[in-house]
Structure 1
Amino acid sequence: MAAGAPDLELLRRYHERGDRRAREELIRRHLPLVRALARRYAGRGEPVEDIEQVGAIGLIKAIDRFELSRGVSLATFATPTVLGEIRRHFRDRGWAVRVPRALQELHAAVTAAVDRLGARLGRSPSVLELAREVGATVEEVIEALELGSAYAPASLDQGSEEQETDALEMLGHDEPGYARSEMRATIEPALRRLPRRERDILRMRFGLGLSQAEIARHVGLSQMHVSRLIRRALAAMREEIG
């Protein structure tokens, strides 16, 4: 699709004559496109206004890089640049803790696959279905889903709707999470020594809260076999922990 006549004239004025007003007009005309693209990422822990600002940077880059000989509209050319800038912002700046880039990208792929498969299937997809969709293992998908807690955590100054005091005032009280963390540190080494299939089953049972029947469907075994594997894995872990 050829560039629209008004846009093309403005682009010529900017690129051939260095007309900064033409550039400003192009930005103004295409900010609605940026806002529409930014709204796709609403509800992911970042204010929409901030996402729009990042998208606007992508729009400016697209205007500056546009080649008059391309024969496409500015909107068509700018869209992937704007989306790329927004995704880069979420990858590089949105994580509260340092997460490897490969896991960030898998987390993004799994999140998109949840929406895509949910629309296609009419229900929430299983972990196994997600793994097949993104070409990863069940264990990798579970790890990617757990990464959500590393992204945009709640502020310590933000209390819940049920409490009037902020979270900082609660730090002096006994925190049951410490015990859970200690328990996890004890369990993880024993869990890693289990066969991969048994690790996946335990994570689905106790990490995701799936029933034995649901797990059986995911891994292609009978419910009785899943039950035996869970008992065997727990017994092995108890023996390992001592």
Structure 2
Amino acid sequence: MTTLCAAEPHHASRDDEVASLTQRLAAADADETEHLRHEIVEACLPVADGIAHRFRGRGVEDDDLEQVARTALVAAVTRFDPSLGHPFVPYAVLSVEGELKRFFRDHTWAVRPPRRLQELRLEARVTEESLRHELAREPTVDELAEVLGADPGDVRTACRSSCGYHAVSLDAPSPTGTTLAERVVVLDDPAEQVITHQALVSAMGELTSRERQLLHLRFVEELPQREIGDVLGVSQMQVSRLLSAALKRLRAQLLAAAA
């Protein structure tokens, strides 16, 4: 695990320094122990920061990642027992990585999915990258599920759970100048719900069977466009065009019914 420091030219001297400090720590009295632990933390800060930077791009500020990693490093130094004779750096790496993963699991979700889905999502990301290189294309959900030994529906749900990382404010302005709250339809009157449902059923009846299937795959099964293309036998770009055309027709039917 110490190879994580290999990108830094002086990592060998740092490891030697940390090894020397931990040896002294094993024989230190109570007054010297705190000082030695402080020196070990300072020597290993670049290691903790380097691990934190591997978790960039997941919606968390760099400063927050470094804070979590450094806090985990301090805790690792406090727990470390030098009398066992094990090197400190590999232990610290595992501790910092584990704490960062727990941080993402427990504190970065706007809507937190079940733990099994979180773990499956992480496994799916690694497997997807491996299959992408092996197949020279995007793997399908069925291919991912086969490698993971999981149900395709669970894999699909786990992949979609990434949407739970971030929440959008209802007051956030859209490119058109309106807010999301202004575009969200809230129907409190049961009669209005029935009328709207009937209008939607009627409008859907004006679409082709293929268009209805397309809308079902997108908004009921919530499949991504790539998987919809696999079902319909078209490209992802064609799915986008077909979806836009179907929604435009559906919107026109609803507006005509409202008029």
User: TM-score, normalization: structure 1?
Assistant: 0.65
Letter matched to residue 174 of structure 1: R
Q: How does 1:139-178 map to 2 (within 5 A)?
A: 139-156=153-170, 159=173, 162=175, 170-171=179-180, 173-175=182-184
* Counterpart in the other structure of 1:7: 18
Q: Is 1:25 the counterpart of 2:13 in the alignment?
A: no
Q: CA deviation at 1:7?
A: 1.3
Distance across 2 between alignment mates of 1:36 and 1:156: 36
Match of 2:224 among 202, 205, 208: 208
Count residues with an aligned counterpart: 193
Return 5+ residue gaps in structure 2 as ranges: 3-13, 188-192, 201-215, 234-259
* Counterpart in the other structure of 1:126: 140
Q: Structure 1 residues 153, 174: closer, same or farther in 2, change over 3 A?
A: closer
* Counterpart in the other structure of 2:106: 92
Distance across 2 between alignment mates of 1:64 and 1:210: 49
Letter matched to residue 112 of structure 1: V
Q: RMSD value over aligned CA atoms? A: 3.5
Distance across 2 between alignment mates of 1:20 and 1:58: 17
Distance across 2 between alignment mates of 1:158 and 1:30: 42
Q: Structure 1 residues 120, 64: closer, same or farther in 2, change over 3 A?
A: farther
* Counterpart in the other structure of 2:75: 61
Match of 2:92 among 67, 78, 92: 78
* Counterpart in the other structure of 2:127: 113
Q: CA deviation at 1:93?
A: 0.8
For structure 1, which segment, 141-150 or 73-82, has the greater mean C-alpha deviation from structure 2 after superposition?
A: 73-82
Query: Per the alignment, in what secondary structure is the counterpart of residue 82 of structure 2?
Result: coil
Return 5+ residue gaps in structure 1 as ranges: 187-200, 218-242
